[in-house]
Amino acid sequence: MAIVYLGIGSNIGDRQANIDKALGLLKEHPEIDFLAMSSVIETEPVGGPAQESFLNAAIKIKTDLMPLDLLTQLKIIERRLGRPKVHETDSPRPMDLDILFYDDVVIVDGKNLCIPHAKIAQRSFVLKPLSEIAPDLVHPRLQKSVRELLDAVNALPNENHSELQGA
């Protein structure tokens, strides 16, 4: 079974209820074993139009699903929770589920999937919760731990990585 780390976020409606529902759906899936979850943090949206703040967290699961099959299941959960099938990048969303790491698999230019997540090294809203549950996890391409990536992002001018508060 593969160890997989997911990012989860919501900034429309009852954000915590959206996260709770998504967690419930993940836990109900027969091919997904829920292992751990970080605390939930409140973060400013990055890019896109003006919108409400996000609640974000990281999740650790174990699964026999292959990466594209897992992505399909995550998209089904997003749609069940109200995210349109076709959406603009950086748009508001009731649910966002992303594969951050899938074992040590590297998919660089996949049509629908990039593993590790293409922007993980620039996003403290992903790295901060992920560092709670996997601080020593090493990015297979960058050869830096999650903790090192978070330290590097935090050392940058405060542009795209500000957190409002823990939630």
Question: In the chain, what are the domain boundaries?
Answer: 2-166
Annotated catalytic residue, options 14, 15, 69, 83: 83
Do 62 and 3 meet the contact criterion of CB atoms below 8 Å apart?
A: yes
Active site residue 80: no
State the catalytic residue, choosing from 33, 93, 103, 141: 93
Higher pLDDT, 126 or 49: 126
Choose the catalytic residue: 20, 79, 90, 98: 98
DSSP 4-41: EEEEEEE-SSSHHHHHHHHHHHHHH-TTEEEEEE---E
| N-terminal to C-terminal alpha carbon distance within the chain | 32
Angle at 39 between CA 15 and CA 52, to 5 degrees: 30
Active-site residue, 98 included: yes
Whether the model pTM is above 0.75: yes
> Could you tell me whether strands 54-63 and 41-43 are parallel, antiparallel, or unpaired per DSSP bridges?
antiparallel
What percentage of residues in the chain have a pLDDT greater than 90? Answer: 71
2-166: CATH topology is Alpha-Beta Plaits (3.30.70)
Residue 157 pLDDT grade (very low, low, confident, very high; cuts 50, 70, 90): confident
Q: Which of 15, 33, 90, 96 is catalytic?
A: 96
Residue 132 has pLDDT above 90, yes or no: yes
- Res 83 pLDDT > 70: yes
pLDDT of residue 48: 61
**pLDDT band at 145; cut points 50, 70, 90:** very high
Cα-to-chain-centroid distance, residue 147: 16
**Tokens 């950086």 found at:** 90
